Amino acid sequence: MRDVIGVILNAKHLTALTGAGVSAESGIPTFRGKDGLWNKYKPEELATPQAFARNPELVWKWYAWRMDIVFNAKPNPAHYGFAELERLRILKCIITQNVDDLHERAGSKNVLHLHGSLRKIVCTKCDYSEYAEKPPKIPPLPKCPKCNSLLRPGVVWFGEMLPQDVLSKAIDEMYKSDVVIVAGTSAVVQPAASLPLIVKRNGGVIIEINPSETALSYIADYRIEKPAGVAMKEIVGEIKRALSLETP
Ligand code: BV8
Ligand code: ZN
């Protein structure tokens, strides 16, 4: 852990790529774990435009259920740890695959959502979009107040392009990073999982926080095999000691 602290303190541009694992300690099921969201269904059954076209009510019910879990969940020490590193001006940007807003609710300001957000509901036809305070009641299927077309969750489904502006900002951040913390992701979903390779190719350092092995473990310079909440609490504590700030 000591050399990880040194790497983080000496980083010129530190960023983080996070996945469902950082929200696991908030009680939000991950995708591919034993309690995974996909266990009952397979991704292609639900998180795809085809599934939505075929059975919008089933897909909307699944998202309304997930929105309920996420909107009632609380950020955990992993989210607070990243927010604290940003407040200490050590962490420059969080690139998240997650569609929950727990990083923001923990105080993180600079967050890029590669796969969209459950807080967004958008129109399938026009540019209308709204902020979801609470999950919609399904049925009835939610309709656009501007053009009366079907509304959909503001997330990126499999087979859909990532929002170009967000993806190019994320790639930019990776080119600027000399250190990237990859936390709570199985690094299976592309193109998100390939982003840390940019840092590696530029001679940067990858710190992986994950209790298990992932598709990126083989190129991680450091692996902290602990839950992100535990690891981030330790890291922030060590950083503050090193900066000889009093841990409140
Ligand atoms: C695209 C939003 C171009 C929706 C999501 C074959 C090969 C390569 C790629 C492909 C392929 N076939 C298809 C593709 C492309 C596909 C893809 O990558 N498929 C994968 C499954 C192989 N990608 C796409 O379709 C992307 N678009 O490529 O566009 C294009 C266009 C047209 C045609 C082709 C290509 C779009 C991908 C976006 C999909 N949307 N989410 C929703 O949420 O409903 S992805 C979804 O998975 C979430 O965003 C999630 O974040 C993401 C990744 O999962 P993880 O976050 O890693 O979560 P997971 O459960 O897997 O892992 C949790 C980890 O946490 C584990 O490692 C566990 O050990 C760890 N953990 C557990 N507890 C803790 C912990 N860690 C720390 N602390 C803990 N306490
Ligand atoms: Zn519309």
What's the confidence (pLDDT) of residue 245? 63
Residue 247 clears pLDDT 60, i.e. is over it: no
CA distance 248 to 246: 6
Q: What percent of the chain has pLDDT over 70?
A: 94
Q: Count other Cβ atoms within 10 Å, centred on residue 7.
A: 17
Residue 248 clears pLDDT 60, i.e. is over it: no
What's the pTM value of the predicted model, to 2 decimals? 0.95
Which whole number is the average pLDDT over 43-52? Answer: 85
166 vs 37: which has the higher pLDDT: 166
Work out the widest C-alpha separation in the chain, in whole angstroms: 58
Residue 1 clears pLDDT 90, i.e. is over it: no
Ligand 1 pocket by Cβ (under 6 Å): 19-21, 24-25, 30-33, 36, 47, 97-99, 115, 155-161, 184-186, 188-190, 209-212, 214, 227-228
Q: Give the sheet arrangement for strand 129-131, strand by strand.
A: 129-131, 116-123, 151-155
CA distance 170 to 247: 31
Q: Is position 113 annotated as part of the catalytic site?
A: no
Mean residue pLDDT across the chain: 94
